[in-house]
Amino acid sequence: MKRKSITMLLILAMVLAMFTGCAPKKETFEIGLVTDVGTIDDKSFNQGAWEGVVQYANESKKTFKYYQPASDAKDDLLASIGLAIEGGAKIVVCPGFNFEVAIYEAQTKYPKVNFILLDGAPHTADYKTYKTESNVKCISYAEQQAGFLAGYAVVKDGMTKLGFMGGMSVPAVIRFGYGYIQGADYAAKEMKLAAGAIAINYNYTGKFEATPEAQTMAAGWFTNGTQVIFGCGGALGDSVMAAAATAKAKAIGVDVDQSSESPTVITSAMKNLTKSVYDSLKEYYAGKFAGGATLTVDVKSQGVGLPMATSKFTTFKQADYDAIYAKLVAGDIKILTDTDIDSAAKLTTANVVVNVIE
C-alpha cells in the first residue's frame, strides 16, 4: 500500500512537471507607459511621449507596452502603474501633471522601479509636501518660450486679432498663454505698431476635452473678427479647429506638430516630448539616470519650438524664426511666467490689449 502511494505521488509529480514545462512563458515588457487623460493616438501629449518610447525600444530591441487607466483619478493611475510593473516594467513613463500624486506614492512603493514624470513633480494631495526620490526623473518644459514663438510668428505674419483658449489653468497651460501674449507684443513693438494694435481674447475652458461649448465659444470669437486661436489643451484643440474650418480662419496646435489634424493649423507650439523620453530612456540604459531632480527643457536644448517645415505662414520666414529663436537662446528676452504673476490681465503689454474672459 505504501509502495502504491509512492508510485502515485511520482506519477502525479511527473504529470505536474509535464504541464509546467508545456505552460506558455508569460510575456513581459520592460518599458511601460501609462497614458494621461486621452488615448495613445491623441496627437498630443500621450502620443508624443509614446513615440519616444517606441523609437528607443525599437532601436535598442527592448520590449514595451502602454497601459490606459480607467480615469485620471490617483487610484486608477496607481492601478495602471502596478499593472505595468507586474508586466515586467523596469522603467515607467508617466506623461502629465495628473501623475504627480500617484508618483509621490509609487516612488516609495516601488523603489526598484524607475519613473519618468513629464510636466510635473511628485507631491501629496494637499500640496504640502514635495519630494522626488532618486528613482524618479521629472521633466518640465519652457512652455512660455513655445507660446512666445507662436504669438510672435502670427503677428509677424500679419494677424492682429488673436485668441487663446486653454484647457485647465494648470502651470503648463498658463505658461503657454503668457508666452503667447508676450510674443505677440514683442513682434508688435518690432513692427512699430500702434499701442493696442493687437487684441487677444483669453479664456480657460476648465477641460482638456473637445466640447460643443468650446466650439461655440471659438465660433463666436471668429465671427467677431478673431483671425487665429491657440487651442491649448489636448483634445480641446479639436473644437478650435472645427470652428476655424467653418469660419475659414486659423488655429494653432499644441505640444506636438498638429498640422496633419486640420488644414486650419497654421503652426504648433511644440514641446519635444519624443526627444525628452528617448534621451531619458537612453540615459537609464546607460546607467546615467538623473533621478531625484527636475530637468527643464527649453530652446537651448531645442526642446521647444515651432515646426517651420509644416507651418503655413505667408510672410514669416525661416530666417525670421531663426533670428528670434537665437535671441531666446541668448537670453536676450525675458518672458514672465506663472511664478511671476497670477493673471494674464496683469501682463504689461504696450501693444496688446488682453480681454480675459472668465
**Mean pLDDT per segment of 10 residues, for the chain of length 358 residues?**
48 48 73 90 86 98 97 96 98 95 98 96 96 97 98 98 95 96 98 96 94 97 98 92 98 94 97 95 97 95 96 98 98 96 93 95
Q: Got the DSSP string for 206-226?
A: S-SS--HHHHHHHHHHHHTT-
Are 64 and 29 spatial neighbours (Cβ–Cβ below 8 Å)? yes
Residue 5 lies in a domain: no
* Structure-block grid coordinates of residue 194: 500702434
Task: Tell me the CATH number at 159.
Answer: 3.40.50.2300
Are 34 and 43 spatial neighbours (Cβ–Cβ below 8 Å)? no
Do residue 69 and residue 190 come from a single domain?
no
Do residue 250 and residue 334 come from a single domain?
yes
Do residue 102 and residue 238 come from a single domain?
no
Domain count for the chain, please give it.
2
Three-state SS at 168 = coil
Do residue 167 and residue 87 come from a single domain?
no
Q: Which of 141, 161, 187 is the last residue of a domain?
A: 141
Degrees to nearest 5, angle at CA 357 with 237 and 247: 45
pTM score of the predicted model: 0.87
Are 94 and 118 spatial neighbours (Cβ–Cβ below 8 Å)? yes
Do residue 347 and residue 218 come from a single domain?
yes
Residue 175 lies in a domain: yes
Q: Which of 141, 173, 201 is the last residue of a domain?
A: 141
Give me the domain span that covers residue 40.
31-141
Do residue 153 and residue 254 come from a single domain?
yes
Task: Give pLDDT, residue 1.
Answer: 47
Task: Give pLDDT, residue 25.
Answer: 67
Residue 124 lies in a domain: yes
Integer CA distances (angstroms), 319 to 144, 224, 239, in order: 21, 33, 32
Quick one: how many helices (H) and strands (E) in the chain? 10, 13
Give 238's contacts (C-beta < 8 A, 6+ positions apart): 210, 231, 261
Residue 7 lies in a domain: no
Alpha helix stretches (DSSP H) within the chain:
2-22, 45-60, 74-86, 100-109, 143-156, 171-190, 212-223, 236-247, 273-285, 318-330
Q: What are phi and psi of 74, to 5 degrees?
A: -55, -45
Do residue 153 and residue 43 come from a single domain?
no
Do residue 257 and residue 116 come from a single domain?
no
Report how far residue 303's alpha carbon sits from residue 305's, in angstroms, rounded to the nearest whole number: 7
Report how far residue 48's alpha carbon sits from residue 191's, in angstroms, rounded to the nearest whole number: 35
Nearest to 254 by CA among 230, 223, 276, 278: 230
Task: Give pLDDT, residue 42.
Answer: 78
Task: Give pLDDT, residue 178.
Answer: 98
Do residue 99 and residue 230 come from a single domain?
no
Q: Which of 141, 158, 187 is the last residue of a domain?
A: 141
Task: Give pLDDT, residue 176.
Answer: 98
Task: Give pLDDT, residue 234.
Answer: 82
